[in-house]
Every structure is written in C-alpha cells, then in structure tokens.
Amino acid sequence: DAKTTQPPSMDCAEGRAANLPCNHSTISGNEYVYWYRQIHSQGPQYIIHGLKNNETNEMASLIITEDRKSSTLILPHATLRDTAVYYCIVRALLDSNYQLIWGAGTKLIIKP
C-alpha cells in the first residue's frame, strides 16, 4: 500500500499562495493522488486529484513530480476560510475495490 507523508502543520498569510507538500514515495503506477480538506466540525471536502499530469480547478492546482513520488497542492490566493486540515490521499486497489488511504494531514492556518 502506498502511504503519504505530510507536515503536521503550516502557516500562510492571507492573500498569499499556500503550498502544501506531500510525499508518496511508494506509490505505484496506477494509483491516483487525491486531496481533501476538512474544516473544523465538518465532513471532508474533495479538492482535486491527479495521476501523472498537473491539474487545476477552481479551488486549487496539483503539481505531481515526474517520478510521482511527491506532489504539491497550491491554493493560489489563500483566504481565512481556507484554514483546515488538508489530507493527501492515495487511491489504491485493495481486494478488488478502490479505497482511499488517508494519512494524518496538514493543519493549515491562514493568518490575516
């Protein structure tokens, strides 16, 4: 199983880009990388996912290294509402079913 490693916490100034790193050095070729976030007292929220190519949507950008052993989630203009725990997750095929393997996450604090 691929596992992910993230820094436990990060700070970012409001209005600046927040760059959240994730290591997934044991990822295999067919495993996707997903990012979710969890705002306090809410259920997790899907942000973005990717396999090999960089991806961008209205929430964030995902940069995946060429060897796929790490990735970075970029929130281009962080706001106070982006304060949350961000989870980098690998989707793996286990016992014929796809599952999300959740790591410990990064607590991102956006400061005014």
Partner 1 sequence: SAVISQKPSRDICQRGTSLTIQCQVDSQVTMMFWYRQQPGQSLTLIATANQGSEATYESGFVIDKFPISRPNLTFSTLTVSNMSPEDSSIYLCSVSMRTGFGEQFFGPGTRLTVL
Selected from 91, 106, 108, 110, the binder of partner 1 by CB under 8 A is: 91
Q: What spatial distance separates the first Cα and last Cα of the chain, rounded to whole Å?
A: 39
Residues 4-43 that bind partner 1 (CB under 8 A): 32, 34, 42-43
Q: How many CB atoms are closer than 10 A to CB 29?
A: 7
Per-residue DSSP letter, 55? E
Under the binding rule (CB under 8 A), the answer on residue 86 touching partner 1 is: no
Q: Closest distance between partner 1 and the C-beta of residue 85, in Å? A: 8
Per-residue DSSP letter, 98? E
Binding site for partner 1 (CB under 8 A): 32, 34, 42-46, 49, 87, 89, 91, 93, 95, 97-100, 102-105
